[in-house]
Amino acid sequence: MHASFPVDVDLALVGGGGAASLVLAALDRHGVTGLRVAVVDPVHKRGQDRTWAFWGLPGDDLDPLLSASWSQVDVVTPAARRVLSLDPLRYGMLRSAPVYDRAAEAERRLDAVRISAPAGELRDDGERVTVRDPDGRDLVRAGWVLDSRPRRPRRPGRTSWLQHFRGWWLTADRPTFDPQRAVLMDFRTPQPQRGVSFGYVLPVDDRFALVEYTEFGPELLDDAGYDAALRGYADLLGLDLTALRVREVENGVIPMTDGPFESRPSPRVVRLGTAGGATRPSTGFTFSAMLRQADQVALALAAGRPPVPAPAYPGRHLWMDAVALRALDRGHVGGVEFFERLFDRNPPERVLRFLDGVTSPAEDLAVMRSSPLLPMTGAVLGDAAGRLRARLRR
Identity of the residue, 140 or 327, whose beta carbon is nearer to ligand FAD in the bound complex: 140
Identity of the residue, 118 or 334, whose beta carbon is nearer to ligand FAD in the bound complex: 118
Identity of the residue, 273 or 335, whose beta carbon is nearer to ligand FAD in the bound complex: 273
> C-beta of 108: minimal distance to ligand FAD in Å?
18
> C-beta of 279: minimal distance to ligand FAD in Å?
6
CB distance 109 to 250 below 8 Å: no
Identity of the residue, 31 or 136, whose beta carbon is nearer to ligand FAD in the bound complex: 136
> C-beta of 269: minimal distance to ligand FAD in Å?
13
> C-beta of 205: minimal distance to ligand FAD in Å?
19
CB distance 339 to 78 below 8 Å: no
With CB atoms as reference, the residue minimizing the distance to ligand FAD is 17
> C-beta of 182: minimal distance to ligand FAD in Å?
12
> C-beta of 34: minimal distance to ligand FAD in Å?
25
> C-beta of 93: minimal distance to ligand FAD in Å?
8
Identity of the residue, 276 or 382, whose beta carbon is nearer to ligand FAD in the bound complex: 276
Identity of the residue, 229 or 376, whose beta carbon is nearer to ligand FAD in the bound complex: 229
For residue 315, which amino acid is it?
G
Identity of the residue, 145 or 328, whose beta carbon is nearer to ligand FAD in the bound complex: 145
Residues lying near ligand FAD in the complex (CB under 6 A) are found at 14-20, 40-41, 43, 45, 50-54, 118-119, 148-150, 250, 252, 254, 273-275, 285-287
Closest of 168, 233, 199, 187 to residue 82, by C-alpha? 187
> C-beta of 274: minimal distance to ligand FAD in Å?
4
CB distance 28 to 101 below 8 Å: no
What residues have CB less than 8 Å from 194, skipping those under 6 apart?
A: 217, 218, 219, 329, 331
Identity of the residue, 183 or 333, whose beta carbon is nearer to ligand FAD in the bound complex: 183
> C-beta of 43: minimal distance to ligand FAD in Å?
4
Identity of the residue, 132 or 345, whose beta carbon is nearer to ligand FAD in the bound complex: 132
